[in-house]
Each structure stands twice: as structure tokens, then as C-alpha cells.
Structure 1
Amino acid sequence: MTAGAVTALRHGAAAKMAKVSEMYDVTWEDMRDKMRKWREENYRNSEQIVDVGEELINEYASKLGDDIWIIYEQVMIAALDCSRDDLALFCLQELRRQFPGSHRVKRLTGMRFEAMERYDDAIQLYDRILQEDSTNTAARKRKIAIRKAQGKNLEAIRELNEYLEQFVGDQEAWHELAELYINEHDYAKAAFCLEELMMTNPHNHLYCQQYAEVKYTQGGLENLELSRKYFAQALKLNNRNMRALFGLYMSASHIASNPKASAKMKKDNMKYASWAANQINRAYQFAGRSKKETKYSLKAVEDMFGDSANHSVLAWHRDLI
């Protein structure tokens, strides 16, 4: 289909539905500014981007100046999310005419191949980009995304490790690698990745929480102690992190019932579990739930343990409810 045919098709479709500018009584400048805001804040509201962007492209392309090119790119990516290949192809063709040979445009071509599940074509294209520019991080990341889409996690892990040898400061890549290791149940390596993230982001409560979850999953008294400490750190950084609060309760409860724990350790962790249970109770009450519902919630936590050895911990905090 030619670009002209695509344009005609899309003009016809647009004519059948109300325009965004008419529905919301906004100017083209308002729509342009909204698109810029979505770009700058990394919104992934693809349907809205397609609705607003398509009207800008169809009706106001001549007024947008150089902004038209970044809008073409923005709309194309959103169109791929929405399975609008006609619109994606139109935007891609316009970008190719303006920027022939651009690696950025080639990457967009590869993303269209991915959307069409032409993974081999996409990988070949990314490999050509990397032959011309070995430092092109976007092409490397797209290759890794393809491995994940194909369910080839081990290949994705291998390529991510190779990538991090060159770009060790890429925090997003470290987190992605941690997630892949978790999916493969390689918790020791996942913990290492999260430790790298916590070194550079010591105030990120989510990294502390996820690290605590990994150590909790690994099990063993030493790992449970680390888990409890990092759940507590996550709470210190964000006292509204309910997942960390439940994690603190569960890790402390398990330590208190561990036969290898010392008497002092058991006593201390019974107190930690009691405190966490009290905070959970307060949170439920603050949310407007009844005490009866709160008891059911804590009973659900108790049932998750399935261990009569935890009854001493549970008895400790029942009077708090």
C-alpha cells in the first residue's frame, strides 16, 4: 500500500468519527503540547497517543514544523501497541524519506518486524546496526527483548551479561537481569544484581523490598535474617509499603519458629512480628475495614505458614487486634 493510499484510508476513517479537537474543544497547539508532555513523562497511553497524534498528522502536519518528526516516531510506537500497522507503516515511511540511513529509523523498522513476529528479520537488522555502531544500546536492548518474547531467557541472560560488561552503569539493565534470574529460579545471581542496584540507589525502597523477597525465597536462617532487615529498611524508606510490612511479619515469624534460632533471636523476632501485625491491623482500620475483616486477613497470613510452631507468634499479637 502506498503512502498516499494509507493517507486516504486514514483520512476516511477519521472523517467517520468525531475529532479530538472538536470533542474536547482544544487547539492543535494544545494537542501538540499534550503529546510533548506524554513524551517527556514517558507515558505509555498508546490509544490516546494514536487518537491525538493521528489527528495532528492528518490535519496539522504543515503547522508542526520540526516537531512533526518526533511525533511521527511517537505515534508509530503507539500504533504498534494498538495493532495499527497501517498507521505505523505510514509514519515509518515518512521518517525514512526524511532520514534515510538513520540508525534510529532502522530501529523503528526492527520494532515493526517484532510486532509482526518477524523476529529473525528484526535480529538481522539490529545486528547490521551493531556492525556499524557497536555502542548502539537501543539495538542491543531490542535484541534482548526479542529473546524474552521468544521465551529464550537463557539467551537473553547471556546477552544482558555481555551488555553489562560494556555498560555497567545501566540500572535498568541490572534490574531486567535480576528479573530474568528470578524467572529462572537463580536467586543467588538475582540477589547479586539487586545488590548492585542498591549500591547505586540506596534510597530506593522497591529495590530493598525485592532483595528481601529474594533472600526470603532462598530460605535458611541467615537469609531470613537478611530478608527481615531489608524489609525493615524498605519500610524505613517508605512506611506505606504494605508488601514490605507483610514481608517483615512473615520473615520475623519464620525466624521466631526456626529451631536453629537462639532464644534471644526468637524473642526479638516475636516482638518484630507482633509490631508488624499491629501495623497491618492499623492499616486495615485506617482503610475503613472492620476488626473482623482484619482478623480474617491475619488468619490468611497464618494459613500461608501452615506451621503450628508459629502459634506462639500469632498468640503474641492477637490481643493487639
Structure 2
Amino acid sequence: MAKVSELYDVTWEEMRDKMRKWREENSRNSEQIVEVGEELINEYASKLGDDIWIIYEQVMIAALDYGRDDLALFCLQELRRQFPGSHRVKRLTGMRFEAMERYDDAIQLYDRILQEDPTNTAARKRKIAIRKAQGKNVEAIRELNEYLEQFVGDQEAWHELAELYINEHDYAKAAFCLEELMMTNPHNHLYCQQYAEVKYTQGGLENLELSRKYFAQALKLNNRNMRALFGLYMSASHIASNPKASAKTKKDNMKYASWAASQINRAYQSSCHGSAETNLRMRVQSLALLSELRILHCCELWCRLQMQF
């Protein structure tokens, strides 16, 4: 197999810089990281200086993701020799246990880390990830809530908790989590969009109106958010056809739905002037978005039926 440096005519310095860039961007391109990183540690370890240790860690995580346990174990052994007793290296050992589906061993290891360092957030998050992998969402939710009592500013944890509540169809609590995120990130269009989707799923005139407003806010923050545009169309259309809505509300929402439909059509027409690939991608995205919104509407109807029995 040809070496990366020979195949792409790059120096080891360029390969090292590429690995650093992938770390900074938090890229999950595991195959490329394994290819470049394996050559770096095999051929140029002596030239990398202290960078070698972070590269070992980076390559190990990518190797677990890519199914290269042999490479992951090699990197882990090198790190253990250099940093015996390190909690960070112990956590990597736990991640290898997870990849091997030895969940009990991983949890025991994380518990030992937490006994020595109760503030080790990475170990606590790994335990929650295991609960998710095991399908134990209720336990994951409980542990995430306990975690957020101590680390209330962890936005990633709030978003993870929202996703778990959505999976459990507890939309009211999911909405609360997303409200927390929007308070600290008012200009994040994706949080506005997801909050709007949750309110849309909850159903009812009041929730639909909130849904439409937040879809509109997501569009205001990012006018290229097609998912929010479709959401605006769907929510406004449902409000316009709701028998509990006033005549003025229906009229206004018919205008909103009409505007959204025209914007969707314009976006589609613009894509038609591009390449065949762009056109096809636009069609697929449109169908996928409509499908997801129909699923949300079905969930809303199902919840209403459940409440009647």
C-alpha cells in the first residue's frame, strides 16, 4: 500500500499540520486520520517531539471509530508508558472497552476515575454515552440531570438532554432544554429551528403559533435554512386551517404560508439552473424535509389520540 506522503507528495510537517487542523475542527474523518496518523507515528515519531502524544490520542480515537483495534491498542500502550496513572489515559482505556462492548468494565473504570476526581466531566459524559448505547435512555436522562445540577453552563449537555427527551416523546421537557440553550445562544438558528419543531410536534393552536414564530426567527438568523422555511410553511398552513383560529389569524397565516411556498419554489427554481447533481440534491432535501414534517404531524395526531383514551 502506497504511503500517504508518496501518494499525495506531502512532507511530514504538512501531515502533522493536517492532523492539527482536524483536531481544531473536531473533524470525524476517522479513515483519513488513521491513514495519515499511522504513517506519522510509524515513520516520523522521533521528529514530532511532544506532538506525538496528542497524535497518539487522536489516532487511537479514530482507530476505535474505524474498527482498527490493533492500532488503537498500540497507541494506548504508548500513552500508558508515558503517562502511567493519568485519568485521561484511563478514559481512553474505557473508550476501548466501549468499542468492544465491555460496558460493565468501562463503567467500573469511569467510577474509579470519579472516586479520585469527582469533577472529571469527561468520565461522567462517557458513562452517559454508555447508557445511550445500551438503550437505557431513562438512566441517561437521570444522570444528565444530575450532571447539569453541577455544571449548569454545559451547553452540549443541555442539547444532549433535549435529544433524549425527544426520543422519549417528552416534548415539554425537551422544549425547556432548548429554551435554556436559546437564552445563552440567542443567535443560533439551529436551536430556534429545533425548538420550533418540538412545539409543532406538541400541537395545539398556541404551540403552532409559537412554532411558526420560531421557524421565522430561525429564517431571520439564517435565510438559507430550508428546514425552517418548510417548517414555516407547514405551521402557518396548519394554523390557517385550525377551526379555533380567528378569521384574522387564518388570513394572516395564509399569507405566511403563501410567502413560504413562494420562497421554496424560488429556491427550487434556482437549483434548476445549477448542475444536475445540485438539482437532484435539492429534490432529495425537499422530499426529506417534507417527510420529516409529515412524521412530526403524525406524532402530533398520535399524541392527541392517546390523550382521548
TM-score, with length taken from structure 1: 0.86
Aligned partner of 2:213 among 212, 226, 229: 229
**C-alpha distance in structure 1 between counterparts of 2:260 and 2:4, whole Å:** 50
How many residues end up aligned between the 2 structures? 285
TM-superposition CA deviations, 1:37-56 (whole Å, max 9, x none): 11111111111111111111
1:304 Cα deviation (Å)? 5.3
1:169 aligns with 2:153: yes
2:69 corresponding residue in structure 1:
85
Q: Is the alpha carbon distance of 1:304 and 1:170 closer, same or farther for their aligned partners in structure 2, counting shifts above 3 Å? A: closer
User: 2:240 is matched with which residue?
Assistant: 256
The yes-or-no answer on 1:145 pairing with 2:118 is no
Q: Is 1:241 the equivalent of 2:222? A: no
1:202 alignment partner, SS class:
coil
Aligned mates of 1:64, 1:304 — CA distance in 2: 53
What is the CA deviation profile of residues 182-206 of structure 1, one whole-angstrom value per residue up to 9, with x for unaligned ones? 0000000000000000000000000
Q: Which runs of 5+ in 2 are unaligned?
A: 275-281, 296-309
Residue 25 (structure 1) shift: 1.1
1:38-187 equivalences in 2 (<5 Å): 38-187=22-171
Aligned to 1:33: 17
Q: Relative to structure 1, is the Cα distance of residues 130 and 91 closer, same or farther in structure 2, using a 3 angstrom cutoff?
A: same
Bigger Rg, structure 1 or 2:
1
Give, in angstroms, the shift of residue 89 of structure 1: 0.5
Residue 260 (structure 2) pairs with residue 276 (structure 1): yes
CA deviation after TM superposition for structure 1 residue 93, in Å? 0.4
1:173 alignment partner AA? A
In structure 2, how many angstroms separate the alpha carbons of the residues matched to 1:192 and 1:88? 39
Distance 1:284 1:130 in 2: 53
Note the alpha carbon deviations across 1:289-315, whole angstroms, 9 max, x for none.
79xx99xx79x969959xxxxxxxxxx
Could you give the per-residue CA deviations for residues 33-92 of structure 1, whole angstroms, max 9, x where no partner exists? 111111111111111111111111111111111111011001100110111111100100
Q: Distance in 2 between matches of 1:282 and 1:114?
A: 47
| Separation in structure 2 between the aligned mates of residue 85 and residue 75 of structure 1, nearest angstrom | 11
Q: What is the alpha-carbon root mean square deviation over aligned residues?
A: 2.1
Deviation (angstroms), 1:109: 0.2
The alignment partner of 2:272 has SS state of coil
Amino acid at match of 2:97: F
Identify the match of residue 205 of structure 1 among 189, 203, 210.
189
CA distance in 1, matches of 2:262, 2:47: 60
Provide the secondary structure at the position in 1 that maps to 2:44: helix
